[in-house]
């Protein structure tokens, strides 16, 4: 996950999920849906950030709960990196 302050009042999300990593479109779409939903729930806390979620090798699609937990850890890290926790 990459994140950078955007100087705006809202957070923006981008996803980069390579076909090389997840061959099936249904798998790529599943990951994007989970990421978007997780982002939607934390969007107010992430205000002022541009976030790009990258999908790495070895992502486990059979356990969405584990994927959500991993995203939550990344969101928390991004929030802590906000300058003076503005937002």
pLDDT tens digits, 39-54: 999 999 999 999 999 9
Please report, for the chain, the start and end positions of each structural domain, with discontinuous segments joined by +.
Answer: 2-85
Average of pLDDT values for 49-64?
Answer: 88
- Residues counted in the chain: 87
pTM of the model as a whole:
0.86
Would you say residue 87 has pLDDT above 70?
A: no
Token pair, residue 21, equals: 């990593």
Classify residue 32 by burial, with Cβ atoms within 10 Å: 0-12, 13-18, 19+: middle
Angstrom distance (rounded) from CA 47 to CA 27: 28
Would you say residue 10 has pLDDT above 90?
A: yes
Under CATH, what is the fold of the domain 2-85?
Ribosomal Protein S5; domain 2 (3.30.230)
Would you say residue 85 has pLDDT above 70?
A: no
Angstrom distance (rounded) from CA 42 to CA 44: 6
């Amino acid at each position: 996950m990459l994140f950078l302050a955007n100087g705006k009042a809202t957070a923006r999300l981008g996803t980069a999920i390579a076909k090389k990593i997840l061959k099936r479109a249904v798998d790529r779409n599943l990951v994007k849906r989970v990421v978007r939903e997780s982002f939607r729930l934390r969007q107010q806390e992430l205000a002022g950030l541009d976030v790009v979620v990258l999908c790495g090798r070895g992502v486990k699609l059979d356990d969405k709960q584990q994927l959500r937990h991993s995203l939550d850890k990344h969101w928390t890290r991004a929030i802590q990196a906000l300058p003076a926790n503005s937002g």
